[in-house]
């Protein structure tokens, strides 16, 4: 049976810290166009804190590791993305409480729990030009292709990533109904939402690391 073990999840967190440095300028440039230009810096600060402490969390179960990671983001990141991604990781771990490995069905549950808290905290839904425009279609695609089309897990995650990427693209031609870009009205049109872009990059790491 297909299993995602603790090493997979630790690897994802390590890769997220690398990603946050590599794409710091890109995320902040996107945010400069329609926000306050700090999205890259916010993620860098948050994931540096995660990476600094990760070694000490490795003996914990999957839930505790993500609870700690989420708490670090929540505590260290000043912007909107801190509580949103912080909440994502805190809830993401819950279905893996007490576990050292999860099934792919449990992984889908973890993704769903994470995305649901972002929607709830942000009061955002698809079409508001936020990270939800990436994450909701991704997790819906993941569940649909895995359960209905009987697809292999990594193949299903690839479809999820593609749906998320298309969702991020769909933020370009629309106005924002949530977040800082809301104030710009039609001036936000033509720009990708920065959070939708960082969410694609995060999903890509979950995909790349999958066995
Ligand atoms: P801030 O806007 O406080 O500077 P960041 O720049 O780090 O924070 O993050 C901005 C991103 O957060 C946006 O691009 C958007 O994707 C996301 N975001 C902002 N507000 C909301 C919300 N209410 N719901 C969901 N996502 C949101
Ligand atoms: Mg910002
Ligand atoms: Mg800010």
Q: Is 198 in the pocket of ligand 1 (CB under 6 A)?
A: no
Q: State the Cα–Cα distance between residues 171 and 196, nearest whole angstrom.
A: 8
Q: Is 202 in the pocket of ligand 1 (CB under 6 A)?
A: no
Q: Is 180 in the pocket of ligand 1 (CB under 6 A)?
A: yes
The pLDDT value given to residue 123: 98
pLDDT reading at 122 higher than 90: yes
Ligand 1 atom showing the smallest separation from residue 193 Cα: 14
The reported pTM is 0.98
Q: State the Cα–Cα distance between residues 69 and 80, nearest whole angstrom.
A: 16
| Ligand 1: residue whose CA is nearest its atom 19 | 179
46-70 average pLDDT score: 98
Domains, the chain, in order of start with CATH, read: 3-209 (1.25.40.340)
105-131 average pLDDT score: 98
Percent above pLDDT 70 for the chain: 100
pLDDT, one tens digit per residue, over 127-159 is: 999 999 999 999 999 999 998 878 899 999 999
Cα distances from 206 to residues 32, 128, 173, in angstroms, run 27, 24, 27
ipTM of this predicted structure: 0.99
């Amino acid at each position: 049976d297909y299993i995602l073990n603790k090493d997979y999840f630790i690897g994802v967190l390590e890769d997220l810290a690398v990603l946050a440095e590599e794409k710091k300028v890109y995320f902040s440039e996107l945010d400069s166009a329609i926000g306050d230009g700090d999205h890259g810096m916010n993620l860098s600060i948050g994931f540096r804190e995660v990476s600094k402490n990760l070694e000490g969390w490795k003996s914990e179960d999957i839930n505790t590791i993500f609870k700690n990671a989420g708490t670090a983001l929540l505590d260290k990141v000043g912007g909107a993305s801190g509580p949103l991604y912080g909440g994502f990781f805190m809830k993401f771990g819950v279905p893996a409480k007490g576990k050292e490995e999860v099934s792919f069905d449990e992984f889908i549950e973890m993704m769903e729990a994470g995305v649901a808290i972002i929607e709830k905290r942000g009061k955002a839904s698809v079409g508001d030009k936020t990270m939800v425009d990436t994450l909701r279609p991704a997790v819906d695609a993941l569940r649909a292709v895995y359960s209905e089309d009987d697809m292999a897990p990594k193949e299903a995650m690839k479809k999820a990533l593609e749906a998320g990427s298309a969702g991020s693209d769909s933020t370009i031609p629309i106005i924002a109904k949530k977040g800082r870009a809301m104030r710009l009205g039609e001036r936000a049109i033509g720009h990708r939402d920065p959070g939708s872009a960082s969410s694609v990059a995060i999903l890509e790491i979950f995909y790349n690391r999958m066995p």
